[in-house]
Every structure is written in structure tokens, then in C-alpha cells.
Amino acid sequence: MENSSESAGTTKRKHNRAFMAGWLNGYGIGLLAFPFGVVLLVVIWYLVTKLGDYPAFILPGPAAVMEEMHKIIVNGVLWIHVKATLTEMAGGLALGLGTATILGYILAKSPILERLIGPYIVASQSVPAVAIAPLLIIWFGTGKLSKVLVCALVLFFPVLINTIVGIRSVDAGLKTLMKSLHASRWQTFVMLEVPASLPVLLGGLKIGVTLSVIGAVVGEFVGADRGLGYLINLAKGIFNTSLMFAALIALTAISLTLYLLITALERWLLDWRD
Amino acid sequence: MSINSFILEAKNLGKVFSDSSGKLPAVNNISFSVSKGEFLCIVGPSGCGKTTILQLLAGLLDNTSGEILLGGKPLKGPHRDISVVFQKSNLMPWRSVLKNVLLPLQIYGTPAKEAKEKAGLYLEKVGLSEFANAYPKALSGGMEQRVAVARALVQNPRILLLDEPFGALDSFTREQLNLELLSLWRDQNITAIMVTHNIREAVLLADRVLVLSPRPASIYREIPVNLPRPRTGDIEYTREFVDLTYQIRKAIKA
């Protein structure tokens, strides 16, 4: 009796140790390394500005940028621009992911259609999506819509390709199984195609989110009255490089947060993978 | 003898694959009948079209000539009364073991509670109850095929088609699974048709063995296996067993 409880305790401790080791090897190390890297970067940045003695409009020090950051957080300016950029990204993601996923599914299922439309889609990619941004501003104005469209356009193609690859990679044996069970088209879609292509679709989402930041900023560069891209442009115009840095940091924070959120989503949804 | 004494009949069954490079006959004018409750094994040299025959019976391929009758009625496409165990386990890696067994019932629209109970029951029959909530990645090859067998039986089919289901397993696991399959077949009172290139396996399991010719497949010999049942692994060391395997081996060679 005593013996068995003792061995149970040992097993539990072993488990805990194994868990800690696994956690550290997994993302624990990454989690610890990241803040360390940031601190290191800030220190180097500080040393460069200190030793180089650059004028603030070329390279402001960390303190000046923090001060600027604090100012725009307190007076609400940052939030106005972050909100604008996030809204455009959300719209662009919804539109771009939606259309690219649906079209990708259709093309993956119909080789004839792919041969028909495919070349046009590839040809359209020879013009970088960002180069069309000015045109979209002319057509759809300097409001949110034009930015949403730039976002959607930038992420459309990579997500489309991802979807086609994902749907095409559905295991042939599982397709045969579904056929032998007389599964309907809808059942095959819901029970096989969606879960089977989920890893690739989430990969597409990851790319999409990253690209939507680019799309929104480029759109705001070309013509806008708010948004982080606009703020960077504004800061450039008034030689306020600290403000520019603050905007860049905000952009990085947005991208990073979204990326980490999707990674967490992946871990949660795809726990069945090896 | 009533007209429906055979549960499954193949009449002049033929399959020719055709594509841009020409026509490839795979199955040539095959006729055979299977009685209810029979265990039929189909053996033949590799590449002879065994799997094609099984896919035709499963309704996964369209035949180019002849017909298949299920209980006297022409078979058109997959049928709920016929289920298949494939060479690969074909488990969905994102579904737990129990949910994999549940799949056919979900597709056939069985009420959720009843389906879950049934899936649990069949999982128990193949001895994997404790893995119900595990993902397939945690299973060995033999366990995967056990789940595949449970999934094939859960819909209460009248006919079980087996396409070399244990071919990729080591010989001990294979023998073990074959014996388990035999007892399930007896319990379920089901008709089984297995394609294999393993002669010992065929003799161990079957009431009758069909020997196929090289491609395009036609029936070369039909050899009844009148060994007593229930059979155990020991039967493989009897004179009658060895004679039968020799007979089949010679038939394949010829």
C-alpha cells in the first residue's frame, strides 16, 4: 500500500519533469528567448544612438521613442490609427480569404476550370498587387474601401494557391472510403475535405494575416487620412522620426499578436497531428 | 433452390480501363456466386486484377461488361449492405478512434446516441475500448486495422469485403488478426470476401478459394476448403492444410 503510493508519487514527479523539459524544448525556450532578444535589441539601439550621436530625426534613441509612444497612447492618437488599420485588415482578410478560399476550392475540384481561368490568375500576378493601389484609390476614394481592396488583393493569390494545394492533398484512400460509404458531396466536404485541408488553410491564414498588414499600410501610404501607414507618412513629413518609430512598433505588435494567435489556434485545432 | 440463395453473384463481369494510351483489360469475364455466410478468398499473382474485382464488388468502380447481383438485384454503386476493409486502415487522423468507428453511422444518419453506443460496442469487439479517445497516431499498424474492421462492421453490412487488410503487418500480428476476424465473422453471421496473395491466409480463413489467372484476371481454379471449424492457428500444421496450400500454389504457378 505504502509502496504503491510512493511509486505513484515518483511517477507523477517524473511526469512533471518530463512536462517541464518538453515545455522548455517546445515553446518555453522561445517564450523566454523573445523578451531577452527585445531587451538586447533595445540595448544595442541605445548604444548606437549614444555612440553615433545621430540627430534625432535620423535615429532617435529608445527613450525618445518611448516618450512619443506614451504621448500618442495617452492622447488617443495611436488608437485612432490602429483602429483604422485593424478595420481595413479585417475587411481585407474577410474579403480576400473568403474569395480566395471559395475560388480555390472550385478550381481544385475542377481541373477544366483551372485550365480555363488559371492562366489569367497567374498573369494577373505579374503586376504586383501593391502597384494597383493608386488605381484603387482613384476608383474607390481615400476611405476604408480602397484599403480593404488592396489588402484583399495582396493576400488573394497566396491563399488561393494554398487552398488548391490543401484540397488536392486530401488523402486518396480517405476519398475512396467516403465513396464506399456512399457519402454525399456535402458530407464529404464537411467530414473529409475541410478537416483534411485545415492545416494548409491555417497556413494560408497565417500568410494572409501577415500580407494584410502590408496591404493596409501600402494602401494608407498611397492615400488616406488615418491608419498607421498614414501616421508613418505624416511623421516623415514633419521630420518626427520618433513618431515614425512608434508607429512601426505598433505595426510590429499587431502582426506579431495576430501571428501568435493563429499559432495558438493551430496548436489547439491540429492537436491530432504528430 | 430459391433464386436468392446466393447473396452475391458476379455474372460475366469484366473491366477494361481505357485512357489516351489505349485499353487495358483488367478483369475478363468472371462469374462466381457467394452464399450467405460464406467466407470466400480470392488469390492470384500480384497485379492480376484482384483489387479491381473487389472494387467492382464494392461499387467503387463501374464494370464495363456483365453484372453484379446483390440478393438478386443489380448492384449500382456503393451499397450500405457492403462494407470494405482496405489495405490501408484509412483512419481519419483528426478523429478519435471512437469517432472513426462512428463515421459510417454518421453518414447513414443513425441517431447520435444509438450510434455512439454501437461504435463503442464494436470497438469493444476488437478489443480497443481503452483507446476510444486516442487519436490514430497513437495506434500500431495492427491496432489501426482492428479499428478499420470495427468501422466496417458497425453499419451491420451483409457482406464484408477485405482487400489484403493485414498485408502490411508482421506475420504474428497477421495471424492474430486473422483468427480474430474469423471469430467476428462467425459471431456476426456475415458473408466475407477477401482478396489476398497469401495462400496460407486464404486456406486458414476460407470455405472456398478462387485462384485467378494473371492479368486480365479470369478464374483459373476453384478450390473448396473443407477444413473443420472453428479453426485455430494449429490447423496450419495439419496434413490437409499443407495439401491445400500446395494445390493452390501449383494452380497459381500453372
DSSP string, B2-35: -TTSEEEEEEEEEEEEEETTEEEEEEEEEEEEEE
Rounded Cα gap, residues A224 and A214, in angstroms: 15
CA distance B93 to chain A (A): 6
Q: Where are the alpha helices (DSSP H) in chain A?
A: 2-23, 29-52, 62-74, 77-109, 111-124, 133-140, 144-168, 172-180, 185-188, 194-222, 228-237, 241-269
What is the structure's pLDDT at A216? 92
Question: Phi, psi (5° rounding) for residue B219?
Answer: -80, 120
Per residue in A20-56, pLDDT (tens digit) is 555 555 566 667 788 888 899 999 999 998 898 888 8
Pick the residue with more confidence: A7 or A124?
A124
Average pLDDT over residues A157-184: 92
Per residue in A60-99, pLDDT (tens digit) is 989 999 999 999 999 999 999 999 999 999 999 999 999 9
Q: Are A178 and A246 in contact (CB under 8 A)?
A: no
Q: Which residues of A touch B60 (CB under 8 A)?
A: 176, 179-180
Rounded Cα gap, residues B208 and B191, in angstroms: 12
Question: Phi, psi (5° rounding) for residue A243?
Answer: -65, -40
Tell me if A191 and B94 make a contact (CB, 8 A cut-off). Answer: no
Q: For residue B235, what is the DSSP state?
A: G
Q: What ipTM was estimated for this complex?
A: 0.92
Cell numbers 482496405 correspond to what residue? B86
Rounded Cα gap, residues A40 and A105, in angstroms: 45
Q: Are A242 and A134 in contact (CB under 8 A)?
A: no
Q: Which residues of B touch A186 (CB under 8 A)?
A: none
Q: Is the pLDDT of residue A100 over 60?
A: yes
Q: Which residues of B touch A183 (CB under 8 A)?
A: 107
Question: Where exactly are the structural domains of chain B?
Answer: 6-81+157-253
Query: Going edge to edge, which strands form the sheet with B159-163?
Result: B82-85, B159-163, B191-196, B39-43, B208-212, B219-224
Q: Is B212 helix (H, G, I), strand (E, B) or coil?
A: strand
Rounded Cα gap, residues A75 and A264, in angstroms: 33
Centre a 10 Å sphere on the Cβ of residue B98 and count the other Cβ atoms it contains.
20
CA distance B1 to chain A (A): 32
Q: Are B200 and B179 in contact (CB under 8 A)?
A: no
Q: Which residues of B touch A274 (CB under 8 A)?
A: 137
User: What fold characterizes domain A62-269?
Assistant: MetI-like fold (1.10.3720)
Which cell goes with A58?
535620423
Q: Is B88 on the interface with A (CB under 8 A)?
A: yes
Rounded Cα gap, residues A111 and A113, in angstroms: 5
Q: Is A267 on the interface with B (CB under 8 A)?
A: no
Averaged pLDDT of chain B: 92
Q: Is the pLDDT of residue A1 over 50?
A: no
Q: Are B195 and B162 in contact (CB under 8 A)?
A: yes
N- to C-terminal Cα separation, chain A: 38
Which cell goes with A50?
549614444
Cell numbers 492622447 correspond to what residue? A75
Rounded Cα gap, residues A267 and A144, in angstroms: 33
| pLDDT over 90 percentage in chain A | 56
Pick the residue with more confidence: A30 or B181?
B181
Rounded Cα gap, residues B17 and B37, in angstroms: 32
Residues 159-198 of A with CB under 8 A from B: 171, 173-174, 176-183, 187, 191-192, 195-196, 198
What is the structure's pLDDT at B62? 92
Q: Is B84 on the interface with A (CB under 8 A)?
A: yes
The CATH class, in words, for B6-81+157-253 is alpha beta
Residues 104-123 of B with CB under 8 A from A: 104, 106-108
pTM: 0.81
Per residue in B32-87, pLDDT (tens digit) is 999 999 999 999 888 888 889 999 999 999 999 999 999 889 998 999 999 999 99
Angle at A193 between CA A187 and CA A196, to 5 degrees: 130
What is the structure's pLDDT at A27? 60
Q: Are A207 and A163 in contact (CB under 8 A)?
A: no
One-letter amino acid at A257 equals T
Q: Are B191 and B37 in contact (CB under 8 A)?
A: yes
Average pLDDT over residues B5-30: 89
Tell me if B86 and A173 make a contact (CB, 8 A cut-off). Answer: yes
What is the structure's pLDDT at B216? 85
Tell me if B94 and A272 make a contact (CB, 8 A cut-off). Answer: yes
| pLDDT over 70 percentage in chain B | 98
Q: Which helix (H) or strand (E) holds B180?
A: helix B171-188
Write the CA distances from B89 to A174, B46, B132, B137, integer angstroms: 9, 20, 16, 12
Q: Which residues of B touch A194 (CB under 8 A)?
A: none
Q: Which helix (H) or strand (E) holds B171?
A: helix B171-188
Averaged pLDDT of chain A: 87
Which cell goes with A211?
500580407
Centre a 10 Å sphere on the Cβ of residue A96 and count the other Cβ atoms it contains.
28
Closest partner CB to A181 (pick from B93, B104, B137): B104
Rounded Cα gap, residues B79 and B58, in angstroms: 7
Q: Is the pLDDT of residue A5 over 60?
A: no
